[in-house]
């Protein structure tokens, strides 16, 4: 069933979009990521223009993250205080990211920048997570209990705050910086930033994995909603029809993903996420390196 997307100006199969939304929703519930790192490239692959994919995908992230975080609230695995600190940084980063995005869109370079950002970030994060997860699985199989780092340079920073749910007493500066970085990525790449935030919360801040997923989803909801609003009012690149189809699939998928995630070990979740990140990175890198079937394309003024 083909459906015409007015802002993207392409026709796409409606069931394909519902299916993609569902798959990404499952990932959202399992890993605590918004799923944008996977969905946005998938939208590129089915012919959605990058500028529209980035702005519209933020809608779907809001819905799937909200659906997932409700399940985590019921289990009391959301650190609201940590989530609020990350959120403050995220809103500042999102505002900065939209300014950069608008400038690059005016210069006609936004499509290339978005794809290059994906290749670099997904390659680095996926590689590091894969190596770490493999080491953690090896230690677990040998009977070595992996210890969470209790003290590092972060604990020497000022402006400390107690995060009771996470069992931490650390400076608010690192979570704020992580929040800003994630906000910028949300605006430029159309991602919730979970693929950066989840590893940062585990390895940099030292949060327990069971709390990380719910807290990450809580922050993602507000940052991506803010990003969507900015894109809709400044770029006019949010396609409502595309967003609704992705939303429906995402909400259903997130509930399924949350149930699957509870039954899996933290190391298994991280290595699965790393493999998915690397697979998407490889496909995007190939698309940039290989000669396209159509050498020329037409675009609107200022966005080509």
> Is the pLDDT at 304 greater than 50, yes or no?
no
- Ramachandran angles phi, psi of 12, nearest 5°: -135, 150
Q: What is the pLDDT of residues 150-168, one digit of tens each?
A: 556 666 666 777 777 777 7
Which is more confident, 205 or 296?
Answer: 205
pLDDT, mean of residues 28-49: 73
Output the pLDDT for position 301: 44
> What is the Cα 21 distance to its own chain's centre?
14
For residue 145, pLDDT over 60 is answered with: no
For residue 10, how many C-alpha atoms fall within 13 Å in the half-sphere facing its CB? 17
Q: Is the pLDDT of residue 299 over 60?
A: no
Structure tokens at 28: 């959202």
Question: Bridge-partner residues for 60, per DSSP?
Answer: none
- The neighbour count for residue 299, using CB atoms within 10 Å, is 11
Give 250 or 194, the one with higher predicted confidence: 250
What is the structure's pLDDT at 144?
61
Region of poorest pLDDT, from 80-84, 154-158, 184-188, 274-278? 154-158
At 300 the pLDDT is 47
pLDDT value for 216: 81
Helices 80-107, 110-141: axis angle to 10 degrees equals 150
For the segment 1-34, what is each residue's pLDDT rounded down to a tens digit?
777 777 777 788 888 888 888 887 787 777 666 5
List Cβ neighbours of 173 (8 Å cut-off, separation of 6 or more). Answer: 157, 158, 159
69 vs 298 pLDDT, higher one: 69
Nearest Cα residue to 63 out of 11, 120, 108, 18? 18
**What is the predicted pLDDT for the residue at 268?**
72
Q: Is the pLDDT reported for residue 296 higher than 70?
A: no
Residues with Cβ within 8 Å of 218's Cβ and at least 6 positions away in sequence, in order, are 65, 69, 72, 78, 80, 83, 87
| pLDDT over threshold 80, residue 191 | no
Phi and psi dihedrals of 10, rounded to 5? -140, 160
pTM for the whole thing? Answer: 0.65
- For 224-240, what is each residue's pLDDT tens digit? 788 778 777 776 767 77
Scan for tokens 């979009």, then name that residue. Answer: 17
> 24 or 282, which is more confident?
282
pLDDT digits (tens, 9 = 90+) for 56-74: 777 767 766 777 777 777 8
133 band by pLDDT with thresholds 50, 70 and 90: confident
CB contact at 8 A, 208 and 167: yes
User: Which of the four pLDDT bands, split at 50, 70 and 90, describes residue 303?
Assistant: very low
pLDDT above 70 for 276 = yes
Give residue 136's pLDDT: 77
* CA distances to 32, 56, 93, 288, 299 from 235, in Å: 28, 11, 18, 25, 15
């Amino acid at each position: 069933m083909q459906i015409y997307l007015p802002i993207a100006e392409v026709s796409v199969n409606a069931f394909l979009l519902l299916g993609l939304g569902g798959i990404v929703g499952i990932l959202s519930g399992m890993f605590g990521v918004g799923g944008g790192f996977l969905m946005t490239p998938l939208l590129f692959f089915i012919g959605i223009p990058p500028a529209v994919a980035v702005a519209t995908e933020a809608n779907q992230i809001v819905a799937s993250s909200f659906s997932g975080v409700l399940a985590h609230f019921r289990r009391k695995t959301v650190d609201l205080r940590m989530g609020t600190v990350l959120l403050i940084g995220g809103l500042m980063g999102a505002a900065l990211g939209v300014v950069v995005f608008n400038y690059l869109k005016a210069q006609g370079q936004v499509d290339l920048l978005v794809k290059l950002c994906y290749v670099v970030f997904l390659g680095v994060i996926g590689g590091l997570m894969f190596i770490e997860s493999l080491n953690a699985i090896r230690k677990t199989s040998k009977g070595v209990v992996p210890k969470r780092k209790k003290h590092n340079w972060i604990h020497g920073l000022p402006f400390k705050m107690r995060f009771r749910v996470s069992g931490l007493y650390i400076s608010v500066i690192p979570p704020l910086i992580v929040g800003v970085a994630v906000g910028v990525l949300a605006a430029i790449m159309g991602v919730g930033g979970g693929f950066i935030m989840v590893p940062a919360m585990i390895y940099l801040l030292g949060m327990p994995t069971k709390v990380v997923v719910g807290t990450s989803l809580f922050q993602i909801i507000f940052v991506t909603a803010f990003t969507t609003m900015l894109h809709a009012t400044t770029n006019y690149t949010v396609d409502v029809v595309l967003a609704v189809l992705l939303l429906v699939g995402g909400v259903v998928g997130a509930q399924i993903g949350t149930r699957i995630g509870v039954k899996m070990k933290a190391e298994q979740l991280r290595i699965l996420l790393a493999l998915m990140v690397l697979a998407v990175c490889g496909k995007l890198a190939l698309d940039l390196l290989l000669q396209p079937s159509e050498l020329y394309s037409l675009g609107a003024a200022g966005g080509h």
